[in-house]
Homo-oligomer: A and B are copies of this chain.
Amino acid sequence: MTRPALELANPKFIDFMVGRRSDGGIDGYLGIQVVEFEAGRLVAEFDVGDDHVTFIGNMHGGCLAALCDHCLGLVLYPVMSPGSWAATTEFKVNYLRPVSGGTCRATAEVRSMTKRSAVVTIEVENEGRLVAVAQGTCTVKLAEEKTDGD
């Protein structure tokens, strides 16, 4: 897998996030916790809870979609200067196997990055098996950029 060399621009963000479990928002609903974080790569996971499972007995796919969306933007923060932000503009996910319990662990990797956007791929594993792959684009807004009205 080819990944660009990215400079760590915000190490404090990593220090703040590793081990942290979201306690609000849809990431808090899932209980997403950051496990590993470095420039251009993020590992985050959540434990499948009863409320994530539908009447069919499998986890709602929307939980994996939300996990992927969350990681797509989050992975960029350490490689942007403090005060910058990133937001997912599009992504695609393939679900490979049903999930019924255990932990869903996403590994997100930045595959290309310019001043204004980045492409990220994600793999999600559950109980040692690959259960989803995703790829998508984030819009990047660097703090040092002049506001230009769009």
Residues of A within 8 A of B (CB): 1-2, 4, 24-29, 51-54, 56, 58, 60-63, 65-70, 73, 85, 87-98, 111-112, 114-116, 119, 121, 123, 125, 129-130, 133, 135-137, 148-150
Q: Are B137 and A135 in contact (CB under 8 A)?
A: no
Nearest-CB residue, chain B, relative to A89: B95
Contacts of A54 in B (CB 8 A): 25
A26-B90 contact, Cβ under 8 Å, with A1-B1, A97-B112, A133-B119 = no
Oligomeric state, in copies: 4
Partner of A56, one of B85, B92, B133: B85
Pick from B60, B85, B115: contact of A150, CB below 8 A. Answer: B115
Bound: A72/B1 CA distance, A = 17
Contact yes or no, A121 B133, CB < 8 A: yes
11 further A-B pairs in the complex, CB-CB below 8 A; given A26-B26, A89-B94: A4-B130, A25-B54, A26-B63, A60-B66, A62-B69, A65-B65, A89-B95, A92-B92, A92-B93, A112-B130, A116-B150
Tell me which residues across on chain B come within 8 A of A91, comparing CB atoms. 65, 92-93
Judge whether B60 and A26 touch: CB under 8 Å.
yes
A66 to B30 Cα, complex, angstroms: 12
